Amino acid sequence: MRKRVYKVVLCKNCGHIQITYAENSYQCFRCGTIMELESSKIIFRTLDLKKAKEKLIDLKSIKQPEFKKLSGR
């Protein structure tokens, strides 16, 4: 059985952060853009959904200017 890897991803189109376990591409919940995982910004990856959610909450609590710095890395 293959393990799902949960990824916290950032939409380059609208900046929305979400969790996906897709392996090739995913659709942004906010703007509907289909993002290729290879070319998209994966902020964090884990096998543990709970950790992914914690990271997501963490990232969403960061103020926008600071987050822009983070995502530009």
Give the footprint of Zn ion on residues 33-62 (CB under 5 A). Answer: 33
Q: Residue 24 class from Cβ within 10 Å (0-12 exposed, 13-18 middle, 19+ buried)?
A: exposed
Radius of gyration of the chain (CA): 12
Q: Give the shortest CB-1-to-Zn ion separation in angstroms.
A: 31
Closer CB to Zn ion, residue 14 or residue 49?
14
Please give the residues from 10 up to 29 whose contact with Zn ion meets the rule CB under 5 A: 11, 13-14, 16, 28
Q: Which lies closer to Zn ion via its Cβ, residue 4 or residue 30? A: 30
Which residues, other chains included, contact 47 with Cβ-Cβ below 8 Å and sequence gap of 6+? 3, 4, 5, 6
Per rule CB under 5 A, is residue 31 in the interface with Zn ion?
A: yes
In whole angstroms, what is the distance from residue 54 CA to residue 49 CA? 9
Query: Which chain residues interact with Zn ion by CB under 5 A?
Result: 11, 13-14, 16, 28, 30-31, 33
